Structure 1
């Protein structure tokens, strides 16, 4: 039913979906129902949806929530969404036309989205700057697996560290390629993300983490020396950088980056920040 309805709407409005823009529309009724159920939306919720498309997810969310903030960048598709909402007499959806990575989000308390894949990373980090209860988000499988990866695993990354320190993230279920039109190249997964405040995760920590993971298979000391420009824009000699790095916890500096726990990177960042302030 959902697949047929979607195809008819796209044909009616002469819309050609573009994979490069992450326009992969969910057409599986069962998966849609699971997402909505996982979201646990109540009549008091204001839900943020990023990449609303023609309203596949927007409409069932609107029937449960107090309000839905539906962001869609494509102006033509946003007009189709607004038209559908009028036809269905749904008045509690605010359609926001724009780039979700650039616009400010109105207040919301939950997020439910089939995210455009090319903005998965910037949107995930942007969301962490806002207060909300939890998010139900669909990502490409590879990205979702990186979000929940643990130290020592091959796909452990800067993203994994940030998710571990700033959220409680759980992979709920997988979504096959044939659940979308057009089918993406790889499968997807639905994630439940609960934000957790961590005051130690500041800009200095983020820069330190970025420097480390540019050389994730090397020892932490070598990674920091080689990517010190990510941490400081001061014009420093390599020997002076080594001198600073050698003052940080020796055991942590000898560990391979991809084996470091988030808490250990916090220690490295805190010690490095203190040393830099003394220069």
Structure 2
């Protein structure tokens, strides 16, 4: 980072943290963006207008929040750290910004107020559960920053090391597009790996909510044992998809007459596509939950 503008943002951030005696804990995902150019780029990706209500998770001292609020109708800003939240509240007051609803709570435990876009530098340690939570809400666009390795798993191709529950879940819900990488030098404290900004654009419903719920359970069960064959993975994670005991579940799986289903049960989890997992969930769920 060599630009004067980024140096200024870095100085402002460090000054605020030092003034309040804040020592950031990168193990809690407290990595604050200090590159103004990247901050502005992230905000521009959101294509914000005066009608947008933006959800931001993990606001920190407001590096994104304040600039987003200048463009949007409203910002719903969620920050778990009480002291950081108080600092942001004071900054908003000093800046005379009154269109931010600041929530001091754990984003994983609160019901989100109504919003239509998400723009966040997410706390790394909640990347997976918060992304799954987003899928339960209707939104137009999400611009999200993740650790680079996590972002690569979001579009993981079947049969590769990046193919995961995450990529299988997102497949039916969102188009995922990589927008830009962000160097570890752009944060304080400096994280160990680089980050990636992605956009999530919801797909029109391809499957019903009920089918997706069943699919979600099967996907979770399978990827808990990603290197096992599907039959064994389902048996070992049976508590996620059925109330049957192990003996009865094996009995019902052995009684399946469909050769197509039987062939899938012999395959390993990582070589089966989302469409095939959906097919299996529709075929097997009634057998295990009649």
TM-score range, shorter chain: over 0.9
1:81-160 correspondence to structure 2 within 5 Å: 81-160=88-167
Query: Which of 57, 61, 80 is the aligned partner of 1:54?
Result: 61
2:251 is aligned with 1:240: yes
Give the Å deviation of 1:230. 2.8
Residue matched to 1:227: 237
Residue matched to 1:30: 37
Label 1:60 to 1:161 Cα distance change in 2 as closer, same or farther (>3 A): same
Inter-partner Cα distance in structure 2 for 1:83 and 1:245: 63
Give the Å deviation of 1:246. 6.5
Inter-partner Cα distance in structure 1 for 2:17 and 2:152: 32
Label 1:21 to 1:244 Cα distance change in 2 as closer, same or farther (>3 A): farther
Inter-partner Cα distance in structure 1 for 2:250 and 2:45: 54
Inter-partner Cα distance in structure 1 for 2:65 and 2:192: 25
Q: Deviations over 1:22-72 (max 9, x none)?
A: 110000111111101101100110000000110000011011101111111
> Is the 2:156–2:162 contact (alpha carbons within 8 Å) kept by the matching residues of 1?
yes
Label 1:275 to 1:242 Cα distance change in 2 as closer, same or farther (>3 A): closer
Residue matched to 1:206: 216
2:259 is aligned with 1:250: no
Q: Deviations over 1:143-189 (max 9, x none)?
A: 11111111011121111100111111111111111110001111111
> Is the 2:235–2:250 contact (alpha carbons within 8 Å) kept by the matching residues of 1?
no
Inter-partner Cα distance in structure 2 for 1:220 and 1:146: 21
Alignment root-mean-square deviation, CA: 1.7
Q: Deviations over 1:204-226 (max 9, x none)?
A: 32221122112222332232233
- Structure 1 runs of 4+ off > 4 angstroms? 244-248
Query: Which of 165, 169, 172 is the aligned partner of 2:172?
Result: 165
> Is the 2:235–2:246 contact (alpha carbons within 8 Å) kept by the matching residues of 1?
no
In structure 2, the gaps of 5 or more residues are 1-7
2:280 is aligned with 1:268: yes
Inter-partner Cα distance in structure 1 for 2:78 and 2:111: 11
Inter-partner Cα distance in structure 2 for 1:38 and 1:225: 44
1:170-181 correspondence to structure 2 within 5 Å: 170-181=177-188
Aligned residues: 278
The two structures have a TM-score, normalised by structure 1, of: 0.94
Give the Å deviation of 1:242. 3.7
Inter-partner Cα distance in structure 1 for 2:212 and 2:43: 34
Residue matched to 1:11: 18
Give the Å deviation of 1:241. 4.5
Residue matched to 1:20: 27
Give the Å deviation of 1:3. 0.6
Describe the SS at the equivalent of 1:150: coil
Inter-partner Cα distance in structure 1 for 2:288 and 2:253: 13
